[in-house]
Amino acid sequence: MRRARILLGFSALGVFWGAWGAALPAIQRRAAVDDGQLGLALVLVGFGALVSMRGTGVLIDRLGPRVTALSVAAFGVAGFLPGLAGSPAQLYVAALLLGAASGAMDVAINADAVREEIRSGRPLLNLAHASFSGAVVLGAVGAGILQAAGAGPPVALGVAAAAVLVTAAAVREPSRLQGELETGVSPPRLLQRVPVWVLVLGGLGALAFWIESAWQNWSSVHLERTLDASPAVSSLGPAAFAASMTVGRLVAQRLLERSSERRLLVLGALLAGVGSAVAVAAPTVGLALAGILAAGAGCSVFAPIIIGLVGKTAPVRERATLIGSVTTLMYLGFLVGPAAVGGVAQLTSLQASLAAVAGLAFLLALLFSVVRLPR
């Protein structure tokens, strides 16, 4: 039951972000924002997550798994807001609140997954992240169907947010299963020093999330604007990306049994670079989707491996705090990446902006090959 609850939490998060990616062009039109303003809104999503993530980790280490259900409920409430935004200012406020709630839920469900993986001795993180990615597909396709039927952003995001709220009750562990907090040690503090090895992994994760967020947030806009795809077809961009990540993570769970984390990270970054380049240069929607699929497969290995390395290396008393720390650093990619794509697109073109993302993936492959990873 614990594993099922954890997988359900990841799935709920994925359903919403799939709907978000597919509905983003319509959200942009409803709020009357240009590319630069949309990029700023996406920055605020990342900034909100940065504010909440480490603090959520500290709360989990102090209060235990009961924090998870509260964070999921908060995200469900915040999920309704962006679809209702009718101006740039309203979208900015909604994006900030959405990011803060999403960051809290992200840390909580990842901490639960690491704790269960260590408790049971059975791998779970790749499967959990695959559940997230698979649910992104469902959310994106569902939002695309709703939009094709004439529904606007309030409905497309409202359905996904309602699903998250229902999940909040389902993921709550009975008090008898929540376990006991470690006693006899000082609880972690919000402002205590972060170990250097966590900073390094967080920096690499930030570059990885930059690439991932670029395609998750801008693929539908790229297909619709650059290749004149219809809204229903453009929604296949984030869906294809997430579907590929789902398969990639299921495959990675098997490959880790006979391959090293470093090798998978390097190969993933190379594949993300090649796929991104193909998606940018493609003259047709079909070829662009093929590139997005390849980019998704490459990006699939980053988050589970990096978070798993931190969770298994961290001391028990501050495991959630350090998971919150590394995810905070990784979310810098979500903070900088979408804004950079939007800003460069405003100055040049969206194609040129996404081409830079391909170059970043090749740089990440080089860094993964030389940086020392914790054992």
Question: Model confidence over 93-116: pLDDT tens digits?
Answer: 999 999 999 999 999 999 988 888
Supply the mean pLDDT for the chain.
86
Cα 43 to the center of its chain, rounded Å: 14
CB within 8 Å of 31: residues ≥ 6 apart? 41, 85, 86, 87, 88, 90, 91
CA dihedral (232, 334, 356, 308) positive or negative: negative
From residue 166, how far is each of 4, 33, 110, 162 by CA, in Å? 15, 32, 19, 6
Contact, 275 vs 295, CB < 8 A?
Answer: yes
Site of tokens 């935004």: 85
What confidence category does residue 11 fall into, taking pLDDT thresholds of 50, 70 and 90? very high
Name the residue with higher pLDDT: 340 or 9: 9
Torsion of the alpha carbons at 128, 131, 136 and 142, rounded to the nearest 10: -150
Is residue 148 over pLDDT 70? yes
Least reliable range by pLDDT among 52-61, 166-175, 233-242, 248-257: 166-175
* Nearest CA-CA partner of 110 in 304, 375, 332: 304
What confidence category does residue 77 fall into, taking pLDDT thresholds of 50, 70 and 90? very high
Contact, 128 vs 356, CB < 8 A?
Answer: no
**Entry pTM:** 0.80
> Which one-letter amino acid corresponds to residue 106?
D
Name the residue with higher pLDDT: 375 or 129: 129
Is residue 19 over pLDDT 80? yes
| Amino acid 3: pLDDT | 83
Q: What tokens appear for 265 in the block?
A: 């990270």
Is residue 290 over pLDDT 50? yes
Q: What tokens appear for 66 in the block?
A: 């009961």
What CATH architecture applies to the domain 2-174+195-370? Up-down Bundle (1.20)
> Which one-letter amino acid corresponds to residue 162?
A
What average pLDDT does range 80-88 have in this prediction?
Answer: 91
Three-point CA angle 16, 220, 203, nearest 5°: 70
Domain ranges for the chain = 2-174+195-370
| Amino acid 191: pLDDT | 66
